[in-house]
Each structure stands twice: as C-alpha cells, then as structure tokens.
Amino acid sequence: MKTTIVSSAKRSLALFSAPVLIIAALVFQNTAWSEAEPAVAIPAPLQDESPTGAHLETAVFAGGCFWGVQGVFQHVKGVTSAISGYTGGKARTANYETVSMGMTGHAESVQVIFDPAKVTYGQLLQVYFSVAHNPTELNRQGPDYGTQYRSTVFPLSDSQAKVAKAYISQLNASHRFSAPLVTTVEEHAQFYPAEKYHQNFLNDNPNYPYIVINDLPKVEQLKQRFPALWSKEPVLVKS
C-alpha cells in the first residue's frame, strides 16, 4: 500500500515504522493537536427532501481528511457506497500530491450513494454536522490545515442545496455549537475519486495513529448518537 502522505500530520506519521507508530500514537494522545473532534448533539433538520421514489441518490460532503468522513458514512444504514475523492477543482489537479498543496480549489471529499427510502439526505447532513467533522473550523480539521480541508456541502440538485442551506441556518439559530458554522454550499462541482490507496483507509488501517486518534472516535460517536442509523458492517469500496 502506498503511503506518500503529503499533508502536515499525516505526512509526518507516515515516515515511521510500525513499532515507532505505536509509541507515537501514545505520545500524540497527550498533545493538543491530536484530540478527536467532539460530537455535538444537534436537532434533526426541519426541512428535508420530499420522497421521489428514486432507489438511489448521490451526495458529496467535505469535512477535513476524507479518511474519517468516509469511515463514518460507510457505517450508515442505507448508504450503498462511500468513496473518497476531490471536489471543487479541475480534473487535471484531482490527485493527492497536487491537492495537498492547497491551491487547486479542491476539497478532500466523500461521494455518498444512498437509498433515500432508508436514510434521507437530511439525516446524512445531521450525521455530517454532528459526528463526521467540526463545521465551525475554517479551512482546517484537527491537525490538518488548508482550503482542501474546508467544511463544504456539494449539493447535486436544487433540492439538496435548499435543504443544506436551510439546515445551516437552523443550526446557527439553535446555538448548539460554540461558534457559527463556516460550512459553505458549493453547487455545480465535479467529484473525482481519490487514489486506490486512500479508499477504505480507516477500515484497512485501524492501528494507524492518525486514524486511532482522529477518526475511530467519530465512528464510535456515530454508533452512540445514531443507533438507528448504525451499521456494524461497513460498505467498502471494492478493488
């Protein structure tokens, strides 16, 4: 598995051997930057999509490193696919080495395909804002900095855009977060799948310090806060 990790904390951890990584994980647990983003209890959206009879729908979310966001959505009932990738920039720059420079317009993102009869777009947004990331952090998540780690919803329809914007306003009015949401809604953006070695990264590397510290807690928070949506077996990207 290729581990040419470029960005900040992920790059530094990738340089060590397995025994050193275990020690590093224990050390980083006591550092400020290594604390997992806490989940926030938030109300369900007052506005959601109306049933259309469609068997599958696609959504795209960006909320920091795609490893954790993918790992969370892979455990949501009704999700049939969650693929890590890049959204917001051009096709020619949709690769990890370039996106990690933070100048492409891309955000690390996850394309989620779901059955709207089992989980609604609004419910996915609730998971996204509550568990998958911290929507009050501008151009960063945890130890990662840059516009490629921004909090962004990429709606693929007018109805998704309407629901997302209404929910952001609802959450800001609820004052459940310690600061206003900085999440942007960017329409008409193209999603590009990330490299193979990024897919299923959380599932395939559960002992990787970055995953242990930053992302596994998110999956556990999904299980605890959304038991009705929790799926024990993740929906993995096939080779």
What is the domain partition of the chain in residue ranges? 54-204
Give dist(CA 194, CA 98) in Å, integer: 12
Residue 33 has pLDDT above 60, yes or no: no
Residue of 65, 82, 163, 171 marked active site = 65
Percentage of residues in the chain having pLDDT higher than 70: 85
For the whole model, what pTM was predicted? 0.88
Q: Which helix (H) or strand (E) holds 192?
A: strand 191-193
Whether residue 154 lies in the annotated active site = no
Averaged pLDDT for residues 110-128: 98
Fold of 54-204: Peptide Methionine Sulfoxide Reductase; Chain A (3.30.1060)
Give dist(CA 5, CA 230) in Å, integer: 30
pLDDT in tens, 180-223: 999 999 999 999 999 999 999 999 999 999 999 999 999 999 99
Give dist(CA 187, CA 74) in Å, integer: 24
pLDDT in tens, 12-27: 444 343 344 334 443 3
Q: Which helix (H) or strand (E) holds 24?
A: helix 18-28
